[in-house]
Structure 1
């Protein structure tokens, strides 16, 4: 995504956004950490399902 913003796609000035190295670094690490935060719950659910671990029982 960052490459598109600074690559002048189709010569459109809108896509000529200068992004500093520090900003690229912050966005990269924010995305990287967000990926793990979003996938950890999914991973835990998948492991529990595969090992038939019941965490929450239905109230019925």
Structure 2
């Protein structure tokens, strides 16, 4: 699903150029590249340890 006003929000950790691994989809590399253009990923704050700060200056205790 993609349109000019859609943005993919992916949760988790992905390998570089993941859209080129088309072994489990009927989509071509180009179709995935176009659909995912401008996507961003969200990583879990659970990966913070102790008093480490996230890029948004959030500590684990605030979550």
Q: What TM-score comes out, normalization by structure 2 length?
A: 0.29
| Greater RCO, CA 8 A, separation 6+ | 2
Please identify the structure whose Cα radius of gyration is greater.
1
Higher relative helix content: 1
Q: What TM-score comes out, normalization by structure 1 length?
A: 0.30
